[in-house]
Copies of this chain bind each other. A is one copy, B any other.
Amino acid sequence: MSTARPAPPALPTKDRLIHAAARLFHTQGYNGVGMNEILAEAKAPKGSLYHHFPNGKSDLALAAATMASDGMLRVIAASFAEANTFKDGATTLCFKLAKLFDKSGHWAGCPVSATLFQDAANQEFRAQADHFYNGWITEVEDHADRFGLSREEATRKAEHLFMLIQGAWQLARARHSSDVLRNIPQYL
């Protein structure tokens, strides 16, 4: 048939690289992933990588973390969009994250810390991580505002939720189970 095309990669090379890097980094950590591994996963040659990301691995890490952070913002928005109370939104968020964790094979870590918490010397990575985290907290805060909470109370609740999720996620990895994520709402 004339429709037997070689099935083009669907995504442009640059995006395939970012997606491959994001997946590998947040599963194995920045230092646990080699360029060759990323290249193989993205089915791209070395030349393309250093064409799109002149600074190599670190550029790629920043791009991957940015994409992951944007995704998290969307999950947060979707969770709170149709909620009637803060706790409702937070509960939905926890369940959505638990599902994502399960889909990753009960292993993936926080995409931001796994990708950007490299070593004490890399201040650029640290600053970016701070920026992403604050973005998530602000997003939750803004939704909390909608429920009539004061700004202080909104900040307090948003940071509390952030900590619980990060902490539960860590425990979930160790236990290979997302139960602890689903149990978060009892602490709110």
Interface residues of A (CB under 8 A from B): 27-32, 105, 107, 109-110, 113, 117-120, 126, 129-130, 133, 156, 159-160, 162-168, 170-171, 173-176, 180, 184, 186-187
What's the Cα separation between A146 and B37 when bound, in Å? 52
> Smallest CB-CB separation from A168: which chain B residue?
B163
Does the CB pair A166–B162 fall under 8 Å? no
Separation in Å of the A122 CB from the closest CB of chain B? 10
Of B110, B118, B174, B187, the residue contacting A28 (CB under 8 A) is B118
Does the CB pair B27–A174 fall under 8 Å? no
B contact residues around A126 at 8 Å (CB): 173-174, 176
Separation in Å of the A41 CB from the closest CB of chain B? 14
B contact residues around A107 at 8 Å (CB): 120
Number of copies of this chain that the complex holds: 2
The DSSP consensus for interface residues of chain A is helix
Can you offer 16 A-B residue contacts whose CB atoms are under 8 A? A27-B119, A29-B118, A31-B32, A105-B120, A107-B120, A129-B174, A130-B174, A130-B176, A133-B171, A156-B186, A159-B171, A162-B171, A163-B166, A163-B167, A163-B184, A166-B170
Does the CB pair A32–B119 fall under 8 Å? yes
